[in-house]
Amino acid sequence: MNIGMLGKERVKRGSLASKLACADVAKHIAQGVRRYFREKHNFEKVREKVAADYGVSDRQAGTWFRSGPPMPRLAQMIAREGMAFVHAVIHPIAHLKDINDARLNARQAALDAQLAAEQADLAADLSSGGAGRGSLAGRRVSVIGALKARLRREAA
């Protein structure tokens, strides 16, 4: 048993989720490659120049700009172009993950704060005896159920 894998949710290889995640990353790489070579070649005959540099057809170079190069060619591009290529293509992908993680963490913190506030409000309402609202037995279930339903909708 691999202890390092405990507590980590893994996506099964070959599953639709893993394929979609890989496709998203490939599209980001393709976008970065396209942007990098357009700037490098001043927007002039970019496909032809990349095709000549890497020994492939113009059509294949165009495919790289749409769906990303295969890993051996990406490694070749990194070796040839150097750190400028890495900063332009690879780093934004890692930065995008950090931005998404920060956004999701902030959203989760806001949801946790809202849940704590609503639980405190519910506890205050229960301790005060409902303040003339009648029986709280039915209301308690509906408020908690509504809160859970709303948090599920917001989390999705």
pLDDT digits (tens, 9 = 90+) for 95-153: 666 666 777 888 888 888 888 888 888 777 777 765 545 554 545 556 777 777 788 78
Confidence (pTM): 0.49
Task: Retrieve residue 156's tokens.
Answer: 């999705």
Element (H, E) at 86: none
Smallest CA-to-CA distance from 70 within 15, 36, 117, 78 is with 78
CB 123 within 8 Å of CB 144: no
Q: Is the pLDDT of residue 1 over 50?
A: no
Query: What is the full DSSP assignment across 16-82?
Result: HHHHHHHHHHHHHHHHHHHHHHHHHTTTSSHHHHHHHHHT--HHHHHHHHHH---HHHHHHHHHHHT
Dihedral sign for Cα atoms in the order 140, 146, 151, 156: positive
pLDDT digits (tens, 9 = 90+) for 23-82: 777 888 888 888 999 898 888 888 898 899 888 998 998 888 888 888 888 888 889 888
Predicted pLDDT of residue 59: 92
Predicted pLDDT of residue 97: 66
